[in-house]
Chains A and B, each alone.
Chain A
Amino acid sequence: MSSMNWIRNFAIIAHIDHGKSTLADRILEICHAIPKGKMREQFLDRMDLERERGITIKAKAVRLQYFSPGQKREFLFNLIDTPGHVDFSYEVSRSLAACEGALLLVDASQGAEAQTLAHAQVALAQGLVILPAINKIDLPAANVERVEKEIETILGSNHLPITLVSAKHGTGVEELLERIIEYIPPPQGEKTPHLKALIFDSLYDPYRGVLPFIRVVDGEIRRGMRILFFSTKREFEVLGVGVFTPEMQEVECLGPGEVGYIVCNMKNIQDSRVGDTITSADHPISQPIPGYRKAKSMVFCGFYPVDSERYEDLKEALEKLQLNDASLHFEADFSEALGFGFRCGFLGLLHMEIIQERIEREFSVEVVATAPHVVYRVLDKRGEVLEIKSPRDFPSPGEIEEAEEPYVEVKIIVPSAYLGGIMELCQGRRGTFKDMIFLEENSVLLTYELPLAEILLDFYDRLKALSRGYASLDYEFVGYRPARLVRVDIFVNRERVDGLSFISAQDNAYYRARYLVGKLKNLIPRQLFVVSIQAAIGGKIIAREDIPALRKDVLQKCYGGDITRKRKLLEKQKEGKKRMKAIGKVRIPQEAFLAVLKSEP
């Protein structure tokens, strides 16, 4: 038999925070991948943002050598640690495409949650072997029996044996590794000149260009070979191949079943499409590996530099970030109120927040972000279909023949005690009930169809509040549905601020407009003059508030000639002003633009 017998490719999947990266730590230790002294918690979470937030954002592959005491020989593991957050689900599905098996981890105290189910279903659909494990059994609140029942509901009664582990203390991890060898099949591939490899990720390196991360299915890839990218039909020469140990390390070649990266002097990240197939230019295959759905931006918003002179810097920041994040979209945009900027597309709200934070932190460009919204489709009276990526472009009521908005199928897992409140919430958000299953006596899986726009409108916060934090949520795009929609415009001192416009279901428009206007009154700092805030639909004012003028500053004594203190105070005040966007004479802070997303106090 070929050496493939001694390879195991698997991903760790779970709901957020169930301990994937911590389990990966233990596996790295058992395989002696990290020199002693270099080890730290969640070793694979290397980005600053990942470490600060304590979450995984990018999936990471590692190649490990594992000596199995049971089989008395060495195995090669390719492990992929995946993120748990719903925004990054596409990272999970593409990682799974490079594997034969998945470790499904469930927190013993939390039980199965929405992404437990979602990721398990993706793995099942891709035909992977799922090895379930219950983590955090050391916690006093652990309830193994209950979680076992839930796993059985999700995976069916003939699931593989469940391993009980504590990733924190290392309990049960050796047993789990032996089961990986036993149950997850080695890759099936052939040593042929007809190379077939799948791109599952890529990285931009300023010196070496784009590095596609690949999983070889058949054949071999080595330096000097000419390769062909199936979808782009472009040819490149392989300048190097390597693996992740987790550091990048050059190797001779990657054979069937192996996972690594290649260097091929590629400049444009669009040339390395995730899901694409690589083959040999001299001995091409005829059929690519079935690809998977491209990650689609669901959420859009405008990014504008606070200081309009930094437009070019913002552009450069977005370009650089896009090199490593093919799911980030942007196009130039102009707003009457906010000036030149970009209309950006994201996978979800967390993705948007992270990109904004990285722009401000890594590129020191301060941005004002308008409230995120979905893409609407409008059939206008002339019979033309418009894709609306900015509320500004939404036609007035008279011009619309029919409007459609994106819907998602939402899966919510919630303790049965909170079921009523959650159903009311979904109902109130224009939801359609689909299904309800008990995963276990006390835990329910609810399925609804909802407009995606409602999810953006603080749905998650409400869900958490109504369930004392226990409910979890996953959603998937299911298509466009007709809707009665209107655009609400906001005027500050009679000047329209297009960045504050929003599109709303007609029935809620009044309520939302009044609420937003009230919020803005508190968020826009008082100025030397009275500021009026109005909301209007197609020219008709539906809500109004006035911000009274400032009345008085602090009149300070000037102690012992400390003029500098006084001046610094003024300079700080000026600095604070700079962080806001000027609309006419009124300064509007970032929070005001996000207030559009709050539905109730």
Chain B
Amino acid sequence: MISISLYVHFPFCQKRCRYCDFVSYPLTSRTEHQAYLALLQRELSLQMEKNVLQGRELLTVYFGGGTPSLFEAGDFALFLEEAKKFFPFRDLPEITIEINPEGFDIEKLTAFKKIGINRVSVGVQSFDHWRLNILGRWVSLHFLTDLFAEVRKTFSSWSIDLMYGLPGESLDLWQRELEQALEFDPPHLSIYNLTLHPSVPLYAFWKKHPRLFPSPEFEALVWEWIVRRLKKEGYHHYEVSNFARPGFECHHNLRYWNNDEYLGLGVSAWSYISGKRRKNTSSLKNYRQRLAKGELPIVFEESLSPSRKLGEKIVLSLRKNEGIPREFLYAWGKIERKEKHRIIERLIQEGWLVEVDGYLRLSPKGFLLANQVCAELIDSA
């Protein structure tokens, strides 16, 4: 049976973080939430009419945002009911929700669990007040301690999101961040770089005070320490910025890296179905209008050309620890085998790639320069 995943986007937040360039609308009334939910259901049934998706096995569901945790458990229950009508599943799918701890009502956790959500991902970003402040966020350690105690009680699979590359970082400070996270003993951690789009307030800050931000050398140092430390704790570095205890990988994210199909619902959601990448409108108003007219809210669609497909395959596979089969690289693309061989051998010799059982993987040093190494491999494809 062909499988599928669902990504559902909730474009509402209590307030705007200073580094964020996602589509998000300020928190609104309960009625508007319910209205949005109705739109999601409408979109789902429209998608089912226009795409031949019926009968696929639903493997994962991801409620992302924005801040989906502003919604009530009942909302998600309603949505899941609807989804089950279209997609059968054998085992219970992995159903994740993103939680923004700021202003979160801890009581909701049990309710989430009850309606079938079985994984939560908590966007902490940092435990340090000053750094949270810079990001435009606020949450106390005291609250987080309570929150994670409850999370651990309720869920076996959960994750903490942390961010590095923030102003005023020191190795010492970062060690404290990670040690703090480890105290909560999360089965999964996502650790990624701060990236700033020119439209966000923190970008202007960075322009003005670039020296407050850590250098790539320093980030490399921090990163190497993180990787070592987590390995020692028994975490498995299964993707560029994701770490998990064995068996606690995020299956939903893995589907992205594996190039498996997923249907995205909601404002500005992405889908990948039948070799096509699609994006929904980023405007809530437009989303509403299009659905009212019985149209799909798609604003961008591309059928991947063979070379792009290949490029994506390389990028996505190398993000994962298992890597990409060498033979696959030989089998595809325009360049002669001999030339490819030369490039691959050079990358191995220079220590960017390692080969394990016919699979090419990024070395620890290669992980740090994943973009560069991918670019060279794509050039060779």
Binding site for B on A (CB under 8 A): 528-529, 550-564, 566-567, 569-570, 573-574, 577
Bound CA span A8–B217, Å:
72
B180 at interface by CB-CB < 8 Å:
no
Considering only CB atoms, which chain A residue lies closest to B22 in the complex?
Answer: A559
Known: A567-B312, A570-B378. A553 touches B64 (CB 8 A): no
Could you tell me if B7 and A569 are in contact, using CB atoms closer than 8 angstroms? no
Could you tell me if B241 and A557 are in contact, using CB atoms closer than 8 angstroms? yes
Could you tell me if A551 and B374 are in contact, using CB atoms closer than 8 angstroms? no
| A573 → B minimal CB distance (Å) | 6
Considering only CB atoms, which chain A residue lies closest to B219 in the complex?
Answer: A552
Bound CA span A553–B368, Å:
6
Q: List residues 23-53 of chain B with CB under 8 A from any CB of chain A.
A: none
CB < 8 Å neighbour of A529 from B240, B315, B350, B373: B350
With A560-B268, A561-B271 known, 13 other A-B pairs at CB within 8 A are: A528-B350, A528-B373, A551-B219, A551-B369, A553-B371, A556-B193, A556-B241, A559-B64, A561-B256, A563-B316, A567-B315, A569-B371, A574-B375
CB < 8 Å neighbour of A570 from B7, B262, B375: B375
Could you tell me if A570 and B371 are in contact, using CB atoms closer than 8 angstroms? yes
B206 at interface by CB-CB < 8 Å:
no
Bound CA span A551–B375, Å:
16
Bound CA span A548–B277, Å:
39
B158 at interface by CB-CB < 8 Å:
no
Could you tell me if B279 and A554 are in contact, using CB atoms closer than 8 angstroms? no
Q: List 11 A-B contacts (CB under 8 A).
A: A528-B350, A529-B350, A551-B220, A555-B193, A555-B223, A555-B240, A558-B253, A560-B269, A567-B312, A570-B371, A574-B378
Residue numbers in B under 8 Å from A553 (CB-CB):
368-372
B289 at interface by CB-CB < 8 Å:
no
Binary flags per residue of B357-372, CB closer than 8 Å to A gives 1, else 0: 0000000000011111
Residue numbers in B under 8 Å from A555 (CB-CB):
192-193, 223, 240-241, 368, 370
Could you tell me if B216 and A563 are in contact, using CB atoms closer than 8 angstroms? no
A-B pairs, top 3 by smallest CB distance, nearest first, are A552-B220, A551-B220, A553-B371
Bound CA span A14–B47, Å:
70
B302 at interface by CB-CB < 8 Å:
yes
Could you tell me if B256 and A558 are in contact, using CB atoms closer than 8 angstroms? yes
Residue numbers in A under 8 Å from B302 (CB-CB):
564
Could you tell me if A552 and B368 are in contact, using CB atoms closer than 8 angstroms? yes
Q: List residues 337-381 of chain B with CB under 8 A from any CB of chain A.
A: 350, 352, 368-376, 378-379
Could you tell me if A560 and B277 are in contact, using CB atoms closer than 8 angstroms? no
Q: List residues 88-113 of chain B with CB under 8 A from any CB of chain A.
A: none
| A422 → B minimal CB distance (Å) | 36
Bound CA span A573–B315, Å:
14
Could you tell me if A560 and B64 are in contact, using CB atoms closer than 8 angstroms? yes
Could you tell me if B371 and A573 are in contact, using CB atoms closer than 8 angstroms? yes
Could you tell me if A552 and B223 are in contact, using CB atoms closer than 8 angstroms? yes
B195 at interface by CB-CB < 8 Å:
yes
| B167 → A minimal CB distance (Å) | 16
Could you tell me if A557 and B190 are in contact, using CB atoms closer than 8 angstroms? yes
Bound CA span A560–B268, Å:
9
Known: A560-B264, A563-B316. A552 touches B369 (CB 8 A): yes
| B278 → A minimal CB distance (Å) | 10
| B84 → A minimal CB distance (Å) | 22
Bound CA span A574–B190, Å:
28
| B165 → A minimal CB distance (Å) | 8
Could you tell me if B193 and A561 are in contact, using CB atoms closer than 8 angstroms? no
How many contacts A-B (CB < 8 Å)? 96
| B64 → A minimal CB distance (Å) | 5
For B, the interface residue count at a CB cutoff of 8 angstroms equals 48
Bound CA span A553–B217, Å:
10
Residue numbers in A under 8 Å from B370 (CB-CB):
553, 555
Could you tell me if A563 and B270 are in contact, using CB atoms closer than 8 angstroms? yes
Bound CA span A558–B195, Å:
12
Binary flags per residue of B280-315, CB closer than 8 Å to A gives 1, else 0: 000000000000000000000010000010011001
Residue numbers in B under 8 Å from A564 (CB-CB):
270, 277, 279, 302
Bound CA span A564–B272, Å:
10
Considering only CB atoms, which chain A residue lies closest to B268 in the complex?
Answer: A560
B236 at interface by CB-CB < 8 Å:
no
Residue numbers in B under 8 Å from A573 (CB-CB):
371, 375
B188 at interface by CB-CB < 8 Å:
no
Residue numbers in B under 8 Å from A554 (CB-CB):
165, 193, 195, 371
B9 at interface by CB-CB < 8 Å:
yes
| B220 → A minimal CB distance (Å) | 4
Bound CA span A553–B365, Å:
11
Considering only CB atoms, which chain B residue lies closest to A554 in the complex?
Answer: B193
Residue numbers in A under 8 Å from B374 (CB-CB):
570
| A376 → B minimal CB distance (Å) | 40
Question: For B262, B271, B312, B375, which residue has the most chain A Cβ atoms within 10 angstroms?
Answer: B375
Could you tell me if B270 and A561 are in contact, using CB atoms closer than 8 angstroms? yes
Bound CA span A558–B7, Å:
13
| A307 → B minimal CB distance (Å) | 15
Residue numbers in A under 8 Å from B375 (CB-CB):
570, 573-574, 577
Q: List residues 240-269 of chain B with CB under 8 A from any CB of chain A.
A: 240-241, 253, 256, 262, 264, 268-269
Could you tell me if B64 and A550 are in contact, using CB atoms closer than 8 angstroms? no
Bound CA span A561–B4, Å:
13
Residue numbers in B under 8 Å from A529 (CB-CB):
350
Residue numbers in B under 8 Å from A561 (CB-CB):
7, 256, 262, 264, 270-272
Could you tell me if B7 and A560 are in contact, using CB atoms closer than 8 angstroms? yes
Bound CA span A540–B372, Å:
35
Residue numbers in A under 8 Å from B219 (CB-CB):
551-552
| A39 → B minimal CB distance (Å) | 39
CB < 8 Å neighbour of B311 from A556, A570, A577: A570
| B261 → A minimal CB distance (Å) | 10
Bound CA span A553–B62, Å:
28
Considering only CB atoms, which chain A residue lies closest to B378 in the complex?
Answer: A570
Binary flags per residue of B175-195, CB closer than 8 Å to A gives 1, else 0: 000000000000000101101
Bound CA span A577–B279, Å:
28
Known: A550-B216, A552-B223, A570-B374. A528 touches B193 (CB 8 A): no
Could you tell me if A563 and B22 are in contact, using CB atoms closer than 8 angstroms? no
| A565 → B minimal CB distance (Å) | 9
| B339 → A minimal CB distance (Å) | 14
Could you tell me if A550 and B270 are in contact, using CB atoms closer than 8 angstroms? no
Bound CA span A564–B300, Å:
11
CB < 8 Å neighbour of A552 from B216, B253, B312, B315: B216
| B305 → A minimal CB distance (Å) | 12
Residue numbers in B under 8 Å from A558 (CB-CB):
253, 256
Residue numbers in A under 8 Å from B369 (CB-CB):
528, 550-553
Bound CA span A551–B190, Å:
21
Bound CA span A533–B376, Å:
23
Residue numbers in A under 8 Å from B269 (CB-CB):
560
Bound CA span A550–B216, Å:
8
| A80 → B minimal CB distance (Å) | 47
Bound CA span A577–B379, Å:
11
| A559 → B minimal CB distance (Å) | 7
Bound CA span A566–B22, Å:
15
Considering only CB atoms, which chain B residue lies closest to A567 in the complex?
Answer: B312
Residue numbers in A under 8 Å from B253 (CB-CB):
558
Bound CA span A569–B192, Å:
16
Residue numbers in A under 8 Å from B64 (CB-CB):
559-560
Known: A551-B216, A553-B372, A560-B7. A567 touches B308 (CB 8 A): yes
Considering only CB atoms, which chain A residue lies closest to B223 in the complex?
Answer: A552
Considering only CB atoms, which chain B residue lies closest to A571 in the complex?
Answer: B311
